[in-house]
Amino acid sequence: MQISKSDYMLFLRHPAWLWIKKHQKHLLPPIDPSLQSRFDEGHAFEPYAEALFPNLVRLGFSDFSSYQSLTTLTSETWQAGAKAVAQGRYEDGQITCITDIVSRNGDGYVLTEIKSSTSAKIEHTFDLAFQRLVLEGAGMPILRCEVAHVNRSFRKNGQIAPEELVTITDISEEVENQIENTRRWVDQALSVAKSNTMPDPAPERARLKSYHEWLEIRAKITPTLCPESIHLLPFINAKQASALIKEGITSIDDVDDPTILSKSTRRYLTSRSQGSQIVDHDALDRFLGEITYPIYYLDYETSQSLLPQWEGTRPYQQVPFQYSLHVQREPDGDIEHHEYLHREESNPIPALLKNLRKDIGDVGSILVWYEPFEKTRNTEMAEAFPEHKAFLFNLNERVIDLMQPFSDQTITDPAFMGSSSIKKVLPALVPELAYDDLDIKEGASASRLWKEVTMINPEAQERLKVYANLVDYCTRDTWAMVAIHGVMKEM
């Protein structure tokens, strides 16, 4: 039995994860649309990184048969005098990998991993250390290991130049420091893959920020966790769970020193111990007293892409394509609603700002949920379109974060689960109002679906339906703020 690079990375996330892939693969969750979208963007980035390597020979495979023969094809390609090879396969006994790019450098080779992130990360070190072991075992000495990733400072100005979009970071030293660990972990991974028995699926054994994802997989293969399990604490991670278990603490009620836990988890434990909703009325009155009429409840939906879509935008920049705006001009006054949704491939910012200037006045409080998001979008739009700078800066000066009383614990409730997210606060304060009846229920799906029917496939049959769902979702966000603010005024 061989293990591949992807097998090895699963082992590092959790040993039982690799075992399931090898022995009960049907239990692994399918790739969801959001993850597939990220994969697609990563694939779209690859040609820009490959363009930095002259005379590159790209191999790859299309089916299992071509995968099996790829090692031989790769060897033949090098023997024919190739200077650089992309998507070649290499083997060393029981370990194998397909590399992004290998290039000649004197008497050795350079191993380049293409990643769609904006920096080199610790998991890239583990990834490249495994590849280096395989290639050196196959007789190819590796002189340098590097990551070709996205240049976060790149700003689109005409055609995208690969040398401007791509940054290469040398992590040879970091890889060298992991080689001995990698040899040991490879042996362990091979033992797990060959075993007829699944290794301990304990959640605290998860690594590389896969704790919560592993909890979802684990739920399919072992009995449900006890309702009081520390693993069900909100925002807990594997390191914190391990520290508690080391102290003999496995139940939430046994946690007597929460200092190792995050602020959000501690917030939940405090509200849980109180047993009911607690309101600091003086602090709440001060907060509400800062809000002046007319009140504008504002929410943006945004789209981001690895490859900037419009002039002046950066990789992964959150570009607003939609807003919802509820307006109450005086106490007990009627609630108006205004909205804008961009439905063309052009940069949405100019049209969005034109409509927003018409819908929002020059005075009055602007209520948002998590002000850094809307304020940052306003600042970015002002940078791209300076003719709107005064208007957008005026908006930022008037913004009040409706989330603040929940994040600073002016209002606490065990039902918030330690979170100040509107998705947690709303059902606790306004149980009759939720997102369950909507086709789009969260921002990541809104972003992905808008891009799919507007930028990728504007002829899609479901386009009008997606636009209607987007309006419903964004409208619900601002109406939720109206409802929550109303409850706060009655506390």
Domain limits, CATH 3.90.320.10, in the chain: 5-194
Domain limits, CATH 3.30.420.10, in the chain: 282-490
| Average pLDDT score over residue span 288-305 | 97
Q: Following DSSP, what letter does each residue of 163-211 receive, concatenated?
A: HHHEEEEE-HHHHHHHHHHHHHHHHHHHHHHH-SSPPP--GGG--TT-H
Q: Can you give the pLDDT at residue 160?
A: 96
My answer on whether omega of the bond before 294 falls inside 30° of 0, hence cis, is yes
* Residue 87 · residue 58 · CB < 8 Å: yes
Q: In this structure, how many other beta carbons lie within 10 angstroms of the beta carbon of residue 132?
A: 24
Q: How far is CA 403 from the centre of its chain?
A: 22
Alpha-carbon gap, residue 251 to 245, rounded angstroms:
9
Q: Can you give the pLDDT at residue 39?
A: 86
Q: Can you give the pLDDT at residue 263?
A: 92
Please provide the distance, in angstroms rounded to a whole number, between the alpha carbons at the two ends of the chain: 64
With 0-12 / 13-18 / 19 or more C-beta atoms within 10 angstroms meaning exposed / middle / buried, residue 332 is exposed
The CB-side HSE value for 460 (13 A sphere, CA atoms) comes to 17
Report the share of the chain in percent with pLDDT over 70. Answer: 100
pLDDT digits (tens, 9 = 90+) for 85-101: 999 999 999 999 999 99
Place of tokens 């409802």: 483
pLDDT digits (tens, 9 = 90+) for 104-122: 999 999 999 999 999 999 9
What architecture is domain 282-490? 2-Layer Sandwich (3.30)
| Average pLDDT score over residue span 131-144 | 98
The CB-side HSE value for 109 (13 A sphere, CA atoms) comes to 21
β-pairing, 56-58 with 84-86? Answer: parallel
- Amino acid at position 235, single letter: F
Alpha-carbon gap, residue 379 to 387, rounded angstroms:
12
* Residue 303 · residue 352 · CB < 8 Å: no
| Average pLDDT score over residue span 414-435 | 94
Higher pLDDT, 219 or 131: 131
| Average pLDDT score over residue span 465-476 | 97
Q: Can you give the pLDDT at residue 438?
A: 94
Phi and psi at residue 389, in whole multiples of 5°? -60, -50
CB under 8 A, 24+ apart: contacts of 50-53: 50/86, 50/101, 50/114, 51/162, 52/148, 52/162, 52/163, 52/166, 52/168, 53/83, 53/84, 53/86, 53/101, 53/103, 53/112
Phi and psi at residue 83, in whole multiples of 5°? -95, -30
- What is the pTM (predicted TM-score) of this model? 0.92
pLDDT digits (tens, 9 = 90+) for 210-247: 999 999 999 888 878 888 999 999 999 999 999 999 99
Q: Mean pLDDT score of the chain, rounded to an integer?
A: 95
Q: Can you give the pLDDT at residue 251?
A: 95
Kindly report the CA angle at 140 between 134 and 141, in degrees rounded to 5?
A: 100
pLDDT over 90 (residue 460):
no
pLDDT over 80 (residue 258):
yes
Please, which residues bridge with residue 340 across strands?
A: 323
Place of tokens 């918030």: 416
Place of tokens 């890239």: 124
pLDDT over 80 (residue 345):
yes
Q: What is the band of 24 on the pLDDT scale with cuts at 50, 70, 90?
A: very high
Specify whether domain 5-194 bears CATH 3.90.320.10: yes
Distances (CA, A) of 368 to 36, 82, 375, 422: 31, 57, 9, 11
pLDDT digits (tens, 9 = 90+) for 362-399: 999 999 999 999 999 999 999 999 999 999 999 999 99
Q: Can you give the pLDDT at residue 33?
A: 86
Please, which residues bridge with residue 339 across strands?
A: 324
Report the share of the chain in percent with pLDDT over 90. Answer: 91
pLDDT over 80 (residue 162):
yes
Three-class secondary structure of residue 401 per DSSP: strand
Q: Can you give the pLDDT at residue 57?
A: 97
Q: Can you give the pLDDT at residue 419?
A: 95
